[in-house]
Amino acid sequence: MKLSPALRRQLLRAQKNEMTEHFVYQNLANLMTDTGNKKILEKISADEKAHALFWQSFTKEEVGPSSFFIFYYTWISRIFGMTFGLRLMEKNESSAQVDYEKIMKYIPETKKIIADEVAHEDALILLLKEQKLEYIGSIVLGLNDALVELSGTLAGLTFALQNNQLISLAGLITGVAATCSMAASEYLSAKHSDETAENALTSAAYTGIAYMLTVIALVSPYFFIDNHFISLAVMFGIVVVIIAVFTFYISIAKKYSFKQRFFEMFFISFSVILLSLGIGYLVRTYLGVDV
């Protein structure tokens, strides 16, 4: 079959993508200690290589993988979890400049290859047992609660006290106490839901760490900036960044809508912040708080 220059470029790009993914999956399989996960990743890796060879049967040319993307996706998967890393890779592949509809006009077998690949890989990724994703609910709980509770508290304290030293200390004390309370509540909740003591402790640890890191991030502007209103504005910005980063992670790892989740968390957090600002203003105005 004689390929046009444009079609040949498309096939070579698809071939390179498949070879890159083959090595990413193989790298992750080599890192696995869980036998089940190792076999799943090895199976996907073999499928990717087979797809690359399918394209090669038309291009008649060997194409090497992208060393950069092998390194990038391997480490993203190691740091943020396999499910996140692999879904991010698949998402980026789907947005790559490979026109499969056009290829199918010339190579009908492409339709079945692509359909099998998508269905097979998605099913295999769903089978992966990953601790990072299993405890994502605990992280969500810690982040959501800290964002809503502490951002509201700091906003209220800002208008009521208007003194960064007092605001930062009060916010930090509140945050540490709330972290301990939240972690303890998560431990008891997990333990009463038929989880083992070890799993319940892990859930509590994820919740507590997520909460405390959020506390530190939100309180930090009040320690380093003198003006309390500028500190408040920076804290607002940090809230938006945390919501955006975590929503992006969830939208990739669990295939949720980014926009819907982002605006949902944004609306809840800033509704509480605005309410707290009003309460702080009323407390300072009508109760005569002046420090």
Angle between helices 136-161 and 197-224 (to 10 degrees): 30
Among the candidates 131, 146, 167, a domain finishes at: 131
Q: Do 139 and 282 share a structural domain?
A: yes
pTM of the complete model beyond 0.85: no
Domain that holds residue 192: 135-286
- Token readout for 259 is 């926009």
In a 10 Å sphere around its CB, with 0-12 CB exposed, 13-18 middle and 19+ buried, how is residue 240 labelled? Answer: middle
Per-residue pLDDT in tens (0 to 9) along the chain, 291 residues: 677 888 888 888 888 988 998 999 999 889 888 788 888 888 888 988 998 999 899 888 999 999 999 999 999 988 887 878 888 887 776 665 567 777 888 888 887 777 767 776 666 666 666 666 666 766 776 677 778 888 888 888 888 788 899 999 999 998 898 888 888 887 887 777 655 556 778 878 888 888 888 899 999 999 999 898 899 999 999 989 988 888 888 888 777 888 888 888 888 888 888 887 787 777 777 666 554
Q: Do 122 and 147 share a structural domain?
A: no
Q: Do 103 and 15 share a structural domain?
A: yes
Helical spans, DSSP H, in the chain:
5-31, 35-59, 67-80, 82-94, 100-106, 109-127, 131-134, 136-161, 164-191, 197-224, 228-253, 258-286
Among the candidates 131, 156, 181, a domain finishes at: 131
Query: Please, are residues 69 and 61 in contact by the beta-carbon 8 Å criterion?
Result: no
Q: Do 142 and 120 share a structural domain?
A: no
Does 194 fall in a domain?
yes
Q: Do 157 and 109 share a structural domain?
A: no
Overall domain count for the chain: 2
